[in-house]
Structure 1
Amino acid sequence: MTRLRERRWFPLVWLIPAALVLLALLVLAARWLRETPGWLDFAASFPGTTELPADTPVGFPAWLGWQHFLNSFFLLFIVRSALLIRGRQRPPAFVTRRNDGLIRTKGAPRRLSVHVWWHLVVDTVWVLNGVVYVVLLFATGQWVRVVPLGWDVIPNAVTAGVHYLSLDWPAHEGWVHYNALQLLSYFATVFLAGPLALLTGLRLSPVWKHEWRVNRLLTESLARSLHFAVLVYFIAFTIVHVGLVLTTGALRNLNTMYAGRNDDSWIGALVFAGSLVVMLVAWVVLRVPVQKKIALLGGTVR
């Protein structure tokens, strides 16, 4: 029994049952709350959605579907490499960048574990993809769907949240608009979690200067804690997001996200399945041996 308690996963033995009991109590509380007169008045004033400008675009353009896939693809390898880094096991190889290529620095390049190097490579592509996404978001007017336009979004998000918690999903009309809780979660993911991941990642990367004054506020320890917190947020967001997509009208949701259609055909589901196959193949292929070959294109590997 003593050896069992020393296992890293042992706290899950009581944490998981406790979380399930707490969740059940919250569901019961939410269902009770929705029957009270005060809540009925509140929900009538704040139904869970906010009004959008009359010229808000309807539907999802093709570029948004591609962005959704690419973001998921890159995030898969970001999380994988991050967990390997946090595992603190001796890496199978180390990479040192050559200083005579496109990227040149005054100081000598630092030697990085292959996991850290791969994490930085995928992060860089993910950030570039994010920049393209934000530019297109504002250029096409889609930004009004994921940016709060008034303070009434907060009480409306409370209404939507209570609906979710009571297991009575609020109406999903993503083709036209998101409910307030969706809006806030997407805003937090794109405009808060994303930039925070970039900032803290840069703080931990070789490009950050140790003599900068901002280091007194954003210490390496703080940056590492925040960076990990953002990682946990992205994992939790993905789990909840995928779960809701599949339980609130999977065919229609997958069509809007992957096929740019607002119907219940199987086209979006087939595209989604194809994207999963691509991600699975990449997961199998892009392991350390292939990463080392890629690293050799611009550095030395030992």
Structure 2
Amino acid sequence: MSAIEVEPAEGTRLRRGLPRTAGGDRWPPAGVVTRISTPAVEDKGDEGLVSAASAAGTAVTAAVATSSATAVLPPASAAILPAAELGPIPFRRTVWDGRAPRHIPEAPASARPRPTWPQAIAVLFAAAGLGVLAAAAVAFARTLLSLDALQDFLAAFPGHYEPLIAVEPGFAPWIGWQHFFNMFLMVLIIRSGLTIRREKRPTAFWTPKNNPKGKVSLTIWFHQALDILWLTNGVIFLVLLFVTGHWVRIVPTSWEVLPNALSAALQYISFDWPTENGWNNYNSLQQLAYFVTVFLAAPLAAVTGFRMSGLWPKKAEKLSKAYPIEWARRVHFPVMLYFVLFIIAHVALVFLTGFLANLNHMFASSDAVSWTGFWVFIAALVAIAAGWAAARPLVIAPIAKMFGTVSGR
């Protein structure tokens, strides 16, 4: 057997593999042609050999013929082509390049989906429909309240009742501070909760010092830390509320609360609103709303959040089976939506029913009509905006490191 041999081009190194026979030289022999432009001759004896083994992507073809075979070699310039002239072999990427997906640049604004005209028209029609329904509700409530029977109902139940237990009027300064902390923490809790729902690949993780298996995303740690602060603030609020006797303001003490709450609701819908005197006594609809928020919605949020958190005992199999995590997830998010709707309605009524007096009640502990409470409220909004802007891994990570380990994975 003989091989077709030529002098390789200057500076060209041929890659050689294992020998074909035991104790033989490596294959192919030194000097074998790296590329032949003419068709291979017919093999009449031994089987022909084709070997592909170039790391740079250059095809290597070795032609083997018998002694009776003949071959015509082209010029050396046509037989050997440098790898630089061949260029890289085209390929299709089939695996990820190893970088985290968060480093993928955002699509340009021109490539993002934009609302179409049908979608915009549908939104306008929906808004118009809601406006029509609201106007219809106002007209219907006014029509009802114009009836003699409803006039007698309003006279018997004006929208509030005198509590059976006397309570000192007004708001102590601690109530204002509790109100601010509750508002501040609630906004950040809602923000972090929504981030958890849409976060597919967290940018950072937190691991407790005494439990290496308890790794969670940094956003979850932040959300749970805020929950603990919010619950602590709530416990302090309840203790002071019952110690000072102001629990009477938000806990119904008579069944008259129900017809009076209905009366207040009709008056709100008709835009002929009930007389506000929150410094002394809430109306019945306010009292029921605060009672549901403090004594029902807040504990429900805490219980469902605890079930989904890393604080839940993993070894309590019977308890976990009796209280499945799927149920907690189904309840936790609607409770959050309730808090959002409550905040919107609460802030709207504060501004629509005499915002100077109401803001003084909450932020200045005063029954005077002045701008003091308003400017304190503005300062509170600035603090909330600063907290919202600071709620990012760059700021959260140093705080989280005080209680555990922060890592990228």
Normalised by the length of structure 2, the TM-score is 0.68
Query: 1:144 and 2:255 equivalent?
Result: no
Secondary structure of the corresponding residue to residue 196 of structure 2: helix
Q: What is aligned with 2:301?
A: 197
Give the direction of change, closer, same or farther, for the CA distance of 1:237–1:296 in structure 2 (3 Å limit): same
Q: What is aligned with 2:37?
A: none
**Please, which moves more after superposition, 208-217 or 42-51?**
208-217
Shift of 1:288: 1.7
List gaps (5 residues or longer) in structure 2. Answer: 1-112
Q: 2:132 aligns with which of 14, 21, 31?
A: 21
Q: 1:290 aligns with which of 371, 383, 395?
A: 395
Q: What is aligned with 1:230?
A: 335
Could you tell me which amino acid in structure 2 is paired with residue 293 of structure 1?
Answer: P
Q: Matched residues in 2 for 1:120 and 1:127: separation? A: 10
Could you tell me which amino acid in structure 2 is paired with residue 209 of structure 1?
Answer: P
Give the direction of change, closer, same or farther, for the CA distance of 1:222–1:131 in structure 2 (3 Å limit): same
Shift of 1:133: 0.2
Q: What is aligned with 1:31?
A: 142
Could you tell me which amino acid in structure 2 is paired with residue 70 of structure 1?
Answer: F
Alignment of 1:113-128 (within 5 A): 113-128=217-232
Q: Matched residues in 1 for 2:318 and 2:157: separation? A: 46
Percent identity, please. 43
Alignment of 1:99-178 (within 5 A): 99=210, 108-178=212-282
Give the direction of change, closer, same or farther, for the CA distance of 1:8–1:98 in structure 2 (3 Å limit): farther
Q: 2:185 aligns with which of 61, 64, 74?
A: 74
**Please, which moves more after superposition, 191-200 or 219-228?**
219-228
Could you tell me which amino acid in structure 1 is paired with residue 144 of structure 2?
Answer: L
Could you tell me which amino acid in structure 2 is paired with residue 31 of structure 1?
Answer: R
Give the direction of change, closer, same or farther, for the CA distance of 1:110–1:17 in structure 2 (3 Å limit): farther
Contact 2:188 2:387 survives alignment (8 Å): no
Query: 1:94 and 2:205 equivalent?
Result: yes
Q: Deviations over 1:35-82 (max 9, x none)?
A: 011211211211110111463110000000000000000001100000
Q: What is aligned with 1:104?
A: none
Could you tell me which amino acid in structure 1 is paired with residue 297 of structure 2?
Answer: A
Contact 2:206 2:217 survives alignment (8 Å): yes
Q: What is aligned with 2:357?
A: 252
Q: What is aligned with 1:49?
A: 160
List gaps (5 residues or longer) in structure 1. Answer: 100-106
Q: Matched residues in 2 for 1:206 and 1:177: separation? A: 42
Q: What is aligned with 2:287?
A: 183
Q: Matched residues in 2 for 1:229 and 1:11: separation? A: 26
Q: Matched residues in 2 for 1:208 and 1:271: separation? A: 39
Shift of 1:111: 1.1
**Please, which moves more after superposition, 61-70 or 51-60?**
51-60
Q: What is aligned with 2:90?
A: none
Could you tell me which amino acid in structure 1 is paired with residue 134 of structure 2?
Answer: L
Q: What is aligned with 1:220?
A: 325
Give the direction of change, closer, same or farther, for the CA distance of 1:185–1:115 in structure 2 (3 Å limit): same
Give the direction of change, closer, same or farther, for the CA distance of 1:246–1:213 in structure 2 (3 Å limit): same
Could you tell me which amino acid in structure 2 is paired with residue 25 of structure 1?
Answer: A
**Please, which moves more after superposition, 228-237 or 37-46?**
37-46
Q: Matched residues in 1 for 2:404 and 2:327: separation? A: 31
Q: Deviations over 1:209-261 (max 9, x none)?
A: 35343444532222112110110011110011011101111111000110010
Contact 1:163 1:169 survives alignment (8 Å): yes
Q: What is aligned with 1:208?
A: 312
Q: Matched residues in 2 for 1:37 and 1:289: separation? A: 64
Q: What is aligned with 1:279?
A: 384
Q: Matched residues in 2 for 1:299 and 1:238: separation? A: 34
Q: Matched residues in 1 for 2:143 and 2:362: separation? A: 34
More RCO (CA 8 Å, sep 6+): 1
Contact 1:95 1:295 survives alignment (8 Å): yes
**Please, which moves more after superposition, 37-46 or 158-167?**
37-46
Give the direction of change, closer, same or farther, for the CA distance of 1:203–1:13 in structure 2 (3 Å limit): farther
**Please, which moves more after superposition, 80-89 or 70-79?**
80-89
Could you tell me which amino acid in structure 2 is paired with residue 118 of structure 1?
Answer: F
Secondary structure of the corresponding residue to residue 143 of structure 1: helix
Secondary structure of the corresponding residue to residue 206 of structure 1: coil
Q: What is aligned with 1:103?
A: none
Q: What is aligned with 2:176?
A: 65
Shift of 1:266: 1.0
Normalised by the length of structure 1, the TM-score is 0.91
- Runs of 4+ with >6 A deviation: 7-11
Contact 1:62 1:259 survives alignment (8 Å): yes
Contact 1:98 1:298 survives alignment (8 Å): yes
Could you tell me which amino acid in structure 2 is paired with residue 153 of structure 1?
Answer: V
Contact 1:98 1:109 survives alignment (8 Å): no
Q: Matched residues in 1 for 2:356 and 2:195: separation? A: 35
